[in-house]
Chains A and B, each alone.
Chain A
């Protein structure tokens, strides 16, 4: 017995460094669960963030932001007067009026508000781009919307819940809201729209500026209203710049150009550029920003 142990012990020493015997069975890899479409569901919520640096966003931060700060600066040496109290003062201790919303007399007149004071925090910035198209023949058959849906998906690259981001809405249907005889009824799909934010937005903008607008025939630039138009209109004070593209522009997007014949019909689209500019003359500040991205504007 002791002799056996003496024989066995040197072998034990020699194998002490690497254990030959498995202590635990090899883990069995379970296949991932699959959803109803047959796509595997990962163990964790995977969210895709930015996959590349955005060239136009870089251009905004290195050059445009400074220039816009200088161009839109309004010198206000004294602090602003506080806004007029909304209504004649009432007893704030009155439990009825204490937490009640007290609307200003005559509405808040948001389009008449002056822009916020010039500060490095509120330099005009592009927030999102909305592409929107409406088809007349969608009311007769909703199948006609399939082409626009595919085209907008190709142009924008947006997809519903793309990259695990629950705010990514992708291409949405626009439904009618009013009942207009012979044209639109409430609830029926009449068009499609897509909202773009972040790097996707800048990618779309660069494609628009570099491929579409230069090749568009008889395009003199986005027409602006004359200098006599008021700056406190709703459209002039909301910081949104919109223009439309004709149906011929659809074929100029490189994503569509490669297989133009796959789309049964061409259609135009409205593009809305939404910025954070607010107050009187906000649209002009938004135009200054967009012309920095090389969208041409023309006086009508």
Chain B
């Protein structure tokens, strides 16, 4: 079932039976009393006698939110066009003499544009007559490019044509560009070593230092792995998901205990990732559907609920 954001996905899930899994997103289990001891973030490895040793990691789900509104479906477009025609037919008459001096250039311009809008809404036999394609031209998306003629624009600056909705990087398949897929939520995935030393695709992450909070560690680790050339904002101070791999005893011994990776959400506001090339070899800005084939199965199970479907 698709849902347009994480909140609505949570809403659906809380109505369904909530299962307890070792890896899960945190916000979805507010009502199941979680008994997994969330260890104090200040101590990286707890040294109490009977408590198991834990190793904490902070990972950042760096999100580029949509920069374009969603393209309306055919049905939506027809619906909105129909409603605007009704509105145009029913609205109160526009008080032209309140807004314009009679006989002024502005009034003439408005009347001309209004006539065009009226034709566009209701059509008529006169719509068959095409306007001369001289000064006005349509770009590839069918959007009117403003004419550069000064008499038509009444001395105003010509309006710049909007950028096309499909970016160059969508055609070339460049996954490193931040301009790709403007209507979708993108997430940063980097190619680096995981806890077993294997090279995998994962979110930027790192360990906690002594006396450090999760959100501070997340920001520091993000800068350590992706460079300082980014302007980011960590959303809140709370983790939104946890990843707890089932490790064999030998790995646990070398790590120093049970491994917990907490995910924090962040937004990128400016800049771009600059991998150092040694620890981090590659990066990609991907949608949720593109992330799934790249990551491990249990890793995907813990993060899939915190990623937005669209």
Contacts and interface: CB of A to CB of B under 8 A. Distances in A.
Interface of A: 46, 48-53, 55, 58, 61-63, 65-67, 69-71, 73, 75-78, 117-121, 123, 150, 159, 162-164, 258-259, 262
Given A48-B83, A61-B5, A71 B30 contact: no
B66 A63 contact: yes
A50 B81 CA distance: 10
Contacts of A121: 11
Interface residues on B, range: 35 or more
B5 A123 contact: no
B65 interface: yes
Nearest to A150: B98
B103 interface: no
B185 interface: yes
A121 B9 CA distance: 11
Contacts of B30: 73, 75-76, 117-119
B204 to A, nearest CB: 18
Nearest to B264: A70
B8 A120 contact: yes
B129 interface: no
A62 B5 contact: yes
B7 A120 contact: yes
A69 B10 contact: yes
B75 interface: no
Contacts of B33: 77-78
Contacts of B90: 46, 48, 163-164
Nearest to A261: B101
Contacts, number: 94
B115 interface: no
Contacts of A120: 7-8, 10-11, 14, 27
Contacts of B267: 67
Given A51-B83, A66-B6, A120-B11, A71 B70 contact: no
Interface stretch (B46-54, B234-242, B253-261): B234-242
Given A69-B10, A70-B27, A62 B4 contact: yes
B133 interface: no
22 contacts: A48-B83, A48-B87, A50-B80, A50-B83, A58-B69, A62-B66, A62-B308, A63-B66, A67-B235, A69-B6, A70-B27, A70-B238, A71-B235, A75-B238, A119-B14, A120-B8, A120-B11, A162-B91, A163-B86, A163-B90, A258-B99, A259-B99
Given A55-B69, A76-B30, A66 B80 contact: no
Contacts of B86: 46, 48, 163
Contact of A70 (B80, B235, B308): B235
Contacts of A123: 7
B80 A51 contact: yes
B98 A70 contact: no
